[in-house]
Structure 1
């Protein structure tokens, strides 16, 4: 590619690479463990894990910090849901302000996913706060007005995603902008942050209400709403599986990330990028927040799925046992308006990685 300087042929690029892999993890996620003083305020001086710039955002817009805290909780919960069958299942550590330990300190696929998910979660949480009237500085998106090409009337309270995205950019992206755009890791984080926010934008939905005699729907009023966060997590999980390994290069004297495989086309803004291969996560490495897979539940009936015992247990073996589970069964609808179920006890096989 004309104008591209390979990584190993430039002293300047080698200096940039020195700061490529190691970076402060998304320590703002520790807000999930830090209760705020009271609703609508944030004791900024007491919050741990924030950079100086993020503390500045906190002091200027303290009422938003509760939404940021909710975004941190959403990130951890959704990560653990999406990776529940993987070797690394988003296990958290109680030490320090780095929620996931040092797992995210390297530019791996896992780091790419968590950064994208975190940026999306903050945008969603702030947007919800705007739509619900919980934040004084924002409200519904009033720009969506008039008649659509499909013939319905835009009305109602459309989610103000543009405001949520702008806040996410100012808060979540701040550490990378402060560090400068000269390191591959900063470029990676910023790219993945934006990919997370685009996962919301490209999955917005339209909800409508019919008006007219006896529900004739002579007039429809509609508004735009964000997708469920579970949908955002699923989209980003798919992007994780297809993430592109990138390398830092100089194009016209400007550092950029390009696919390590030169036969691949440049990734789109919605794709995830990573810089280094992931560890296998098989053996415990507590200092880095890796708990290993011993004792983990796995799927003993599959050999290829991500949750298969051969995969999760790293080929080190698994054991099978029986357990009694209590489940709802024989559910019947009772007029009006409840569902009554019986409790059924079943014996199931449980597969766990060898301790």
Structure 2
């Protein structure tokens, strides 16, 4: 049995055990994405596996019972999972840095606070980008030889690759990264047993759909990379392999999916369907949501909105970062701010850079 087959067997066994051993309905307010914040710092030291007399996996807030079991089975993977979650969180904050909701985190295991409890576009994107981050991180860790159960990509040679080129470099193992992430992230939803057609089942299916969309975004942006070999750059030999795209490209793709997300509803058969028939049925690569987004203009602790008061805005922009939209029509305050910057830098042989400090006055606009 291959490594991927063994992984699938173990994941299936864990799900079966959970269905037999856990209550039918369990409300988990934490999030596995917490591995990208507090949990990641712990896993940076691979020699630490115990806190007192209890296994480390049971000490990480936010893991579901199924994820805790997988954590114990694949302890060497958890550092990669944490890095992937952290990458997803940072990319979310980059993509939404000019939006009313800017993907801000809170200091608890929920990571994004009550926002993720609302089945909105924002929750859809957060689940997708975090899942994508883990695929990216685990795939790269396989290639780098950091994990015991995987190595270089087993991807087959592309049919359209030049016949004279060699397919043999050590590629990013997206196949394994996809399978492991599917098991680890989705088990949180699959271990629940909700009533067919209920709102809770609708949220469960929404999360599973968006998790998959995030994983597929990584695959969609994966490419073939080639390198020349030869004396004096003669390129007498060309080697190619499978390579992940920069994660910013994945974030850009999912941000486009967020803007075009489809509103869905749960039907009596326990399936998601398009809420408004005039819209196209979403594919597995599209994002879906159940409820409209809350108002992020003003602070509302109940829904997790921090509001946009005191956010920096762009006076001359007509986009979402402009003072008109970002400040929600409340207006903005302007002030002169003195900035100190490094300038007139010179490189000295060898080997340091010497810079002067320049001062300039800029106009700073913040929302009222």
The corresponding residue for 2:293 is 278
In the alignment, the residues of structure 2 paired with residue 57 and residue 208 of structure 1 have an alpha-carbon distance, to the nearest angstrom, of 36
Q: Name whichever of 179-188 and 338-347 sits farther off.
A: 338-347
In the alignment, the residues of structure 2 paired with residue 146 and residue 238 of structure 1 have an alpha-carbon distance, to the nearest angstrom, of 28
Note the C-alpha offset of 1:159: 0.5
The corresponding residue for 2:131 is 119
The corresponding residue for 2:102 is 89
- Secondary structure of 1:102's partner? helix
The corresponding residue for 2:46 is 39
In the alignment, the residues of structure 2 paired with residue 147 and residue 237 of structure 1 have an alpha-carbon distance, to the nearest angstrom, of 31
Note the C-alpha offset of 1:334: 6.5
Q: 1:111 to 1:36 in 2, by over 3 A?
A: same
Note the C-alpha offset of 1:344: 3.0
The corresponding residue for 1:171 is 184
The corresponding residue for 2:62 is 49
2:31 matches 1:27: yes
- Secondary structure of 1:179's partner? coil
Equivalent residue for 1:149, pick from 161, 173, 176: 161
In the alignment, the residues of structure 2 paired with residue 83 and residue 40 of structure 1 have an alpha-carbon distance, to the nearest angstrom, of 36
Spell out the pairing of 1:126-275 with structure 2 (5 A cutoff): 126-144=138-156, 149-151=161-163, 152-180=165-193, 182=196, 183-250=201-268, 254-275=269-290
TM-score by length of 1: 0.85
In the alignment, the residues of structure 2 paired with residue 209 and residue 138 of structure 1 have an alpha-carbon distance, to the nearest angstrom, of 24
Contact 1:127 1:161 in 2 (8 A): yes
In the alignment, the residues of structure 2 paired with residue 147 and residue 242 of structure 1 have an alpha-carbon distance, to the nearest angstrom, of 33
Contact 1:156 1:221 in 2 (8 A): yes
CA-based RMSD: 2.4
In the alignment, the residues of structure 2 paired with residue 123 and residue 157 of structure 1 have an alpha-carbon distance, to the nearest angstrom, of 17
Note the C-alpha offset of 1:213: 3.1
Q: Name whichever of 61-70 and 330-339 sits farther off.
A: 330-339
Note the C-alpha offset of 1:97: 1.6
The corresponding residue for 1:69 is 82
The runs of 5 or more residues in structure 1 that have no matched partner are: 1-21
Q: Name whichever of 135-144 and 53-62 sits farther off.
A: 135-144
The corresponding residue for 2:322 is 308
In the alignment, the residues of structure 2 paired with residue 264 and residue 64 of structure 1 have an alpha-carbon distance, to the nearest angstrom, of 40
- Secondary structure of 2:221's partner? coil
Q: 1:199 to 1:147 in 2, by over 3 A?
A: closer
- Secondary structure of 2:267's partner? strand
Q: Name whichever of 211-220 and 309-318 sits farther off.
A: 211-220
- Secondary structure of 2:204's partner? helix
In the alignment, the residues of structure 1 paired with residue 280 and residue 299 of structure 2 have an alpha-carbon distance, to the nearest angstrom, of 37
The corresponding residue for 2:111 is 99
In the alignment, the residues of structure 1 paired with residue 175 and residue 47 of structure 2 have an alpha-carbon distance, to the nearest angstrom, of 21
In the alignment, the residues of structure 2 paired with residue 287 and residue 264 of structure 1 have an alpha-carbon distance, to the nearest angstrom, of 31
Residues 52-84 of structure 1, C-alpha deviations (whole Å, 9 max, x = no match): 111110111111111111122112211111111
Contact 2:153 2:172 in 1 (8 A): yes
The corresponding residue for 2:336 is 322
Note the C-alpha offset of 1:143: 3.9
Contact 1:108 1:275 in 2 (8 A): yes
In the alignment, the residues of structure 2 paired with residue 256 and residue 337 of structure 1 have an alpha-carbon distance, to the nearest angstrom, of 63
